[in-house]
Structure 1
Amino acid sequence: MKKTFVLTSLLLILVALIALIEVSTPSWSQYQKEYFKEQIASLQVQLGSAKDNAKKGQLQEEIASYQKRKPEIIDLVLPDGKVERCKTCHIGIEEISSSHPSNTFGCTVCHGGNPLSLDKAMAHAQMYGGGHPGSLDVASLSCGGTGENNVACHAGNPEQAKNEVDLVKTSIMSTKAGELSAVRRMFGYDKTNDIPGLTKGQVAALYPNPLQGRANQKDFQQNCLSQCHQSGGDLPVSTTTNNVSLKGTQEQDGTQVKGQAETQSKIQGNGCETCHVLTNPTHTYIGTDTTMKTNNIGYGMTHSLTTQILYTQCNQCHNQGNHDPLKMSFAFRSDMTKVINDWKSGVTNWLDRVQDYYLPGEIFAKCEVSLDCIDCHTRQDVMGDNKLHTSQYDAVHLQCQDCHGTKETLPKTKQIVDPNDLAFEEQITNPKFPKLKIGDEILVTGKGEELPFIRHQGNDWIQNSRVTGQTFQIPLVYGSKCQQSLLEQGADSCHKCHDRSATHP
C-alpha cells in the first residue's frame, strides 16, 4: 500500500513537472526547435545523395551546427535603430522579395502588428488585413505606405503609373463595374455602359439596389459581384475542387485532415496578393516557416512576392467556370478535376496549356496560349489606369494590331532616350529580360502604353516572355496575305481566321 502511494505521488510530481516545463517553455522556443529539426532532416536527405566529399563535409558541418543550436530571441535591428523580433517565431520565413529585404524594411512596415512582443496574440494585434496586408481595404497602409527614409512606396509618387495601390482600386477586376454594367443593361435599367451613381474606386458589390429590389438582387450581389479580386472577395473554387486538391493533406503530427473543404471551402482574394503571391491548387503554404504549417487554406505557397505571374495564377478566377446572369449563380466547369494538374510537374506542353488555360467553347489564337496572360495584358489592363471602366473592351489597352500591325501599317514603336523612362522599371521585374538600353526601340500600344518586353531588332520583332524569358518572333500582318478589312482589326476580328478552341486546338 505504501509502495503504491509513493509511486502515485512520484507520478503526480512528474506530471506536475512536465506541465510546469510546458508552461514555462515559450512557444517561440518550440517553433525554433521544430525549425532546427526540419533543417537537419532536409540536410540529411541531401547528405545521403551527395557524392562529392567536399559537399558531404559541408553538409555534415551544417547538420552539426543545427544540432548544437539553441533557441534564442532574434533581434532584427533596422537601419533607423528600431528593433523587431518577428523572426524569433518566424525563424524560417522566406524573404518577401529582393526589393523588400527584411534587414532594411523589417516586417511591420507591411504587416503592422507589435514587433517587440513575443506573445502571439499581442504581436499579431492590429495587423493589416488580419495577416493579409495586400487586401485592398488596408493596402494604402501597407503597399502604399512609406519605406526606408520615408520614401513613398506604391502610392504618393509624382508619376501616376507608380501609384499602383491607387490605380488598382479603379481596375475593372477590383470594381466589378463591368459585370454590374452588363447585367443592368441586360435587364434594361441603363441604356449605356455608364452606371448612374457608381464612382471611381467604388466596389460594385456595395452599389445600392443594383437590380432595383428584384428578388434575385441578393444573389447577384453575393454570388457574382462579391467574388474574385475584390478585397475579401471569394475566389470561385468549388467544394469538389477542394476535396480533390486537398486529398492526402496531413497535420504536422501526421494525422489525416478530414472535412477540410467543409470547414473552409471559401478562398478569398486578398487584393495585391491574389496576383503577386503564387498559389498551388490546395492554396496551402509549403515553405519553411514552421508557424505557417497549418491546414488553413487560402495562403500562397511561400512568403514571396513576384511579378513573373504565371497563367495558372490568373486561372484562380478566369478558368473556373461562368456566371449565369439569369440564375445569378456561378456554374463550375464540369471538367474542372482534369484541370487540376500536378503543380510540381514543371513545364507543360501546348495541349496541356490549352486544357488549363481556357474554358470549354472559348475561341483563341495559338499565341494566346503559348504566352502567359501578362505577356499580352499591360499593367494598366490589369492594375487600372485611374479611370472607371464599365466594359472589358474599354479597360483593355492591348489589341492584336499593337504587336502584329495591320495590312497597311507596322506596329507602333518608341525609342528609349531617357534613362529615367518608366520602361526601365519593367526591366527590374524580370531579370531574364535582355537588358534595356538607351537607343532600344520598343513597342507601344494604341493608347501609348510602353511594352518594353517587345522590341524591334533589325527586321525582326521579338517578344520576351515575362515569366520564362523565352523569346518569340512576332509575325506581322504587314506584307502577309491577310485579307481582313482595315475596319476589322480588333482581337474579335482576328479570331475569325485564327480560331482555335480547347476541343479543336
Structure 2
Amino acid sequence: MKKTFLLASLLLILIVILALNQENTPSWTRYQKEYFTEQISNLQVQLGTVDDPTKKDQLQQELASYQKRKPEIINIVLPNGKVERCKTCHIGIEEISNSHPSNTFGCAVCHGGNPLSLDKTTTHAQMYGGGHPGSLDVVSLSCGGTGANGVSCHAGNHEQAKNEADLVKTSIMSTKAGELSVVRMMFGYDKSKDIPGLTKGQVGFLYPNPLQGRPNEKDFRQNCLSQCHQSGGVLPTSISTKNPNPERTQGKGQVESKDIQGNGCEVCHVLTNPTHTYIGADTTIKSSKIGRGMVHSLTTQIPYTQCNQCHNQGNHDPLKMSFAIRTDMTEVVSDWKAGDINWLDRLKDYYLPGEIFAQCEVSLDCIDCHTRQDVMGDNKLHTSQYDAVHLQCQDCHGTKEALPRTKQIEDPNDLAFEEKITNPKFPELKNGDEILMTVKGEELPFSRHQGSDWVQSSRVTGKTFKIPLVYGSKCQQSLMQQGADSCHKCHNRSALHP
C-alpha cells in the first residue's frame, strides 16, 4: 500500500514538474522544435527515394544540420535599422513573394502588430485585419502603406493605375453595387442604375434600407449582399459538414462558415484549396484551422480555379433572395488537384450547367481576358457589370468593319512593362512591339502582333493561342452587337454540347 502511494506521489510530482517546465518554456522554442522535427522527417523520406550520390550527400548534410540545431531568437534587421522577431515563431513560413522579401520589407509593414515581442498576445495585438491584412477595411494601412525604404506601396503614387489599394474599393466585386442596383430596379425603387446615396468604397451590404424595409430585405442582405469575395462576406464553400464552426447548411456537403470569408486583396492573390486550409511549413499555423491560404505566398498568376472559389458556385435568385449552389460542385472539388488535360476538363470545372460560352472563354484563364481595371477598379462607382467590365469581344477579335485597336510600345516607362515584374510568364516586351488596346483605352500587353498573326499568351501557363479575327472572315455580326451575349448566339457551346 505504502509502495503504491509512493509511486503515485512520485508520478504526481513528475507531472507537476513537467507542467511547470512546459509553462516556463517559451512557446517559440516549442514551435522551432516542431519545425526541426518536421524537416528531419521530410529529409529522411527524401533520402529513401534518392539514388544520386551528390544529391544524397547534400540531403545528409542538411539533415545533420537540423539534428544539431537548437532553438534561438531570430532577428531580422531591416534596411532602416528596425528589428523584427516574427520568424522566431514563424520559422518555417514561406517568403511572401520575390517582390516583397522579408529581409527588406519585414512583416509588420503588411501585418502590423508588435514585431519585437515574443509573446503571442502582445505580438498579435493591433494586427491589421486580425491576420488578414488584405481586408479592405485595413488595406490602406497594409498594401497601401509605406515600405521600410520610405517608398509608397500600392497607394499614394502619381500614376493612378498603381494605387490598387484605393482603386479596388471601387471595384464592382468589392461594392456589390451591381446586385444592389439590379434588385432595386427590379422592385421599382430606382429608374436608373444609379443608386441614391451609394458612395465610392461603400459596400452594398452597408447600404441603408436596400429594399426599404420589405420583409425579404434581411434575406437579401444575408444571402446576396453578404456573399462578396472582396468585402469580407461569408462565402459558400464545398467543404465537409464536419467543419468545426458551421453557420448554415446550403445542401449536401455545402456549408457556410464564419471562418470562410472574402478578405480583400488576398482572396485573389493568395491561392486557396477547397477546404481553405494551410499546407505550408509554418508549424504555428495549424492545418486543421480553416480560413487560410494554402501557403503564405502572393501570386499574380491567378488561375481560374481561384476565381471559381467565388464565381460559378451557383445562382442567385433575386425573387426568392436565395442562393442555390451547383449540384455538381462536389465532383469538381474532389478533382481539383488533378489538373486540366484539355479544355473539356475546364468546362466541367468552370462553367455552370446550362451556361452558353465560346471556346476561348474556357481555354483561357479569367485574367487572360479581364483587365487590371476590370478586376481592381478604375476609381469610378459602377452599378452595372457591363459598365464595369473594360473588355469586349471586339477588343481582341475586331469587327467585320475594322481590325482591333492597337498600340506600339515606344516609352520604356510604359505601364505595360510592369507586367514583366509581376508575372514571370510575361513574354519579353520591347520598344517597337505592337500590342492590343481595349476600346476603353486599356493596354493588353499579353496580346501581341507576331508576323501576320495576333497571339494571346496565357498569364498563368504561358501557353500561346492564335487570335482569330472577325475582319475578313464570314462573320456578319454588326458593330452594335459586340457584347458576349451576342457572340454567344453563334459561338454557343455548352456543358451538354461542347
Q: TM-score, normalised by structure 2?
A: 0.95
Contact 1:228/1:236 (8 A) holds in 2: no
Could you say what secondary structure the match of 2:100 adopts?
coil
Judged with a 3 Å threshold, the aligned counterparts in structure 2 of structure 1 residues 291 and 82 are, in CA distance, closer, same or farther, namely: same
Q: What's the CA shift for 1:198? A: 1.0
Q: Which residue number corresponds to residue 243 of structure 1?
A: 240
Q: What's the CA shift for 1:150? A: 1.4
- 1:439 equivalenced with 2:397 (yes/no): no
2:415 to 408, 417, 422: 422
1:501 to 477, 494, 497: 494
Q: What's the CA shift for 1:131? A: 0.1
Q: Which residue number corresponds to residue 166 of structure 1?
A: 166
Query: Amino acid of the residue matched to residue 26 of structure 1?
Result: P
Query: Amino acid of the residue matched to residue 51 of structure 2?
Result: K
CA distance in 1, matches of 2:495, 2:49: 42
Could you say what secondary structure the match of 1:236 adopts?
strand
Q: Which residue number corresponds to residue 65 of structure 1?
A: 65
Could you say what secondary structure the match of 1:148 adopts?
coil
Could you say what secondary structure the match of 1:393 adopts?
helix
Could you say what secondary structure the match of 2:130 adopts?
helix
Q: TM-score, normalised by structure 1?
A: 0.94
Query: Amino acid of the residue matched to residue 458 of structure 1?
Result: G
CA distance in 2, matches of 1:52, 1:424: 42
> Please, which runs of 5 or more residues in structure 1 have no aligned partner?
248-259
CA distance in 1, matches of 2:186, 2:167: 28
Judged with a 3 Å threshold, the aligned counterparts in structure 2 of structure 1 residues 175 and 362 are, in CA distance, closer, same or farther, namely: same
Where does 1:189-268 land on structure 2 (aligned, <5 Å)? 189-237=189-237, 241-243=238-240, 264=257, 267-268=260-261
Q: Relative to structure 2, which stretch is displaced further, 341-350 or 59-68?
A: 341-350
Contact 1:402/1:412 (8 A) holds in 2: yes
* Deviations 1:133-164 (CA, angstroms, capped at 9, x unpaired): 00000000000000132111000100000000
Q: Which residue number corresponds to residue 250 of structure 2?
A: none
Q: What's the CA shift for 1:340? A: 1.0
Where does 1:376-455 land on structure 2 (aligned, <5 Å)? 376-455=369-448
Q: Which residue number corresponds to residue 254 of structure 1?
A: none
- 1:305 equivalenced with 2:298 (yes/no): yes
Query: Amino acid of the residue matched to residue 367 of structure 2?
Result: I
Q: Which residue number corresponds to residue 155 of structure 2?
A: 155
CA distance in 2, matches of 1:168, 1:65: 45
Judged with a 3 Å threshold, the aligned counterparts in structure 2 of structure 1 residues 490 and 231 are, in CA distance, closer, same or farther, namely: closer
- 1:315 equivalenced with 2:312 (yes/no): no
CA distance in 2, matches of 1:49, 1:211: 63
- 1:468 equivalenced with 2:464 (yes/no): no
Judged with a 3 Å threshold, the aligned counterparts in structure 2 of structure 1 residues 262 and 452 are, in CA distance, closer, same or farther, namely: closer
CA distance in 1, matches of 2:305, 2:373: 20
Q: What's the CA shift for 1:173? A: 0.4
Q: What's the CA shift for 1:113? A: 0.5
Q: What's the CA shift for 1:489? A: 2.4
Q: What's the CA shift for 1:311? A: 0.3
- 1:479 equivalenced with 2:472 (yes/no): yes
Contact 2:279/2:287 (8 A) holds in 1: no
Q: What's the CA shift for 1:181? A: 0.5
CA distance in 1, matches of 2:255, 2:6: 49
Could you say what secondary structure the match of 1:93 adopts?
coil
CA distance in 1, matches of 2:353, 2:279: 31
CA distance in 2, matches of 1:403, 1:246: 44
Contact 2:220/2:322 (8 A) holds in 1: yes
- 1:34 equivalenced with 2:34 (yes/no): yes
Q: What's the CA shift for 1:428? A: 1.5
Q: Which residue number corresponds to residue 251 of structure 1?
A: none
Q: Relative to structure 2, which stretch is displaced further, 365-374 or 403-412?
A: 403-412
CA distance in 2, matches of 1:60, 1:415: 54
Q: Which residue number corresponds to residue 80 of structure 1?
A: 80
Contact 2:84/2:106 (8 A) holds in 1: yes
- Percent identity between the two aligned chains: 80
Query: Amino acid of the residue matched to residue 108 of structure 2?
Result: T
CA distance in 1, matches of 2:440, 2:62: 55
CA distance in 1, matches of 2:334, 2:426: 28
Query: Amino acid of the residue matched to residue 239 of structure 2?
Result: N
Could you say what secondary structure the match of 2:149 adopts?
helix
Could you say what secondary structure the match of 1:115 adopts?
coil
CA distance in 2, matches of 1:85, 1:154: 25
CA distance in 1, matches of 2:425, 2:320: 46
